[in-house]
Structure formats: C-alpha cells, structure tokens
Amino acid sequence: MLLILIVVVFGILGFVVSSKLKSKFKKYSQTALQANLSGKEIAELMLADHGIHDVSVNCVDGQLTDHYNPQNRTVNLSPDVYYGRNAAATAVAAHECGHAVQHARSYAWLNIRSAMVPVQNASGKILNFVLIASLFGGLALFNLPLQTVGFVVVGAYGIITLFTFVTLPVEFDASRRALAWVKERNIVTPSEYDMSKDALKWAAMTYVVAALASLTTLAYYASIFFGGRD
C-alpha cells in the first residue's frame, strides 16, 4: 500500500513538473529571439566557440526529445528547438551543447555517469526479472531466501538511485555552461536570458523529482526487507 502511495504521489508531482515545463516552453516559444538565430544555429555557434568541430547537430522527431549522444557525438534537437528562434529553443539548444562541452572537457560527473550506464541498465533488467518472477512464483523455484532477494532488490535499486543523483550535477552544470555562454556571447537580451534560465530551471526539476522518487522507493524496499532486523 505504501509503495502504491509513493508511486501515486511522485507520479502526480512528476506530471505537475512536466506540465509546468511544457507550459513554460510554449510561453517562451511565442516571443521571437532578438538575435534571430535558430536552435541549430545557436548550437553550431556554441560548439565552434568551444573549439568543438567533431559534433554534428541533428533534428529528431518528438517534443522535448532533445539530448546529446556521447557515443556518436551528436547534439539531437527536436523540431521546435532545431528550427525555433526564441528563448526556449535557445535554452535547450545551448543546454545540450553544454553536455558536448562537458564531454570535450572530460567533466568528471559526466564520465562517472557514462561509466554507470551499462550497470544501471543491468540493474533495471534484474529488477524487472525479480518483479515478473515474484508475480508468477518463479522465485520459489530458485528457493531463494527472502534476505537474498532483499539484497538483490535493494542493491539493484540502489544503483539506479545513485545514477539519478549522479545525473543531477551533470544537468545543472550543462545549464550553467549554457546560460553563461548565451550571456557572454550576447545571444539573448536580459529578458530573454531570464526566460531561458526559467525554462532550464523547470527542466532540471524533472530530474530532481526523479531522483527523490527513486530515493524514496529505495528507502521503502530497504525497510521492507531489512527494517525488522536487529
């Protein structure tokens, strides 16, 4: 019952934050950027200013699907950002380039996060297996003690939780780099800067909510399996 409550509470909180982010993006997309630069142009300019010439800027389908891929060294922008000429598009494009700058500068937290990706993915698969097996009585076939199952679940979820918290400094630093660059380069006016900063703040909040939700769920599992131990 408590787990359901946790899922519902953070589900609602995540929905509110996500809705707020979309609302902010829509609002700030309605004001044309005085510099009249598209997200693509801003991304290419920021990369060039940081001496990064081996990263391409691509357009990908979807809304708020923007991301930097360190594997193939691409900044991938959604159509609204790629073609947009407004404060919202500026903020997102510069933020994703912030990740490219982190990669080029070997930013420690990004390196740690990248190294954790395969472990985090494996942890997710382990949790899915345990969940499905428990639903169909599969764990009984392995005759596993509850304590062993607890160590597996808490350990796997602990890795996932750690990953969400390692993500936070990566995201906040990318926004910091983005805002510093657009300000120093005079890409935005003071009012456009405030819009960009506010948009990135709400984008960061989605990661904060995810991290807190993961930590709360981890605490729940830990209390279930080990709370009664002396």
First to last CA, the chain: 24
Phi, psi of 182 (to 5 degrees): -65, -30
* DSSP one-letter string for 131-158: HHHHHTTHHHHHT--HHHHHHHHHHHHH
pLDDT in tens, the chain (230 residues): 677 888 889 899 999 999 999 999 999 999 899 999 999 999 999 999 999 999 999 999 998 899 999 999 999 999 999 999 999 999 999 999 999 999 999 999 999 999 999 999 999 999 888 888 776 665 555 566 777 888 889 999 999 999 999 999 999 999 999 999 999 999 999 999 999 999 999 999 999 999 999 999 999 888 888 875 54
SS3 (DSSP) at 56:
strand
Query: Starting from the edge strand earliest in sequence, which strands make up the sheet with 56-59, in order?
Result: 56-59, 74-77, 67-69
Paired sense of beta strands 67-69 and 56-59, if any: unpaired
- Domain spans of the chain? 2-226
pLDDT of 142 reads: 57
pLDDT of 149 reads: 80
The span from the CA of 226 to the CA of 147, in Å, is: 8
pLDDT of 132 reads: 80
Catalytic site residues?
96
pLDDT of 131 reads: 80
The span from the CA of 132 to the CA of 35, in Å, is: 54
Residues 6 or more apart in contact with residue 230 via CB below 8 angstroms: none
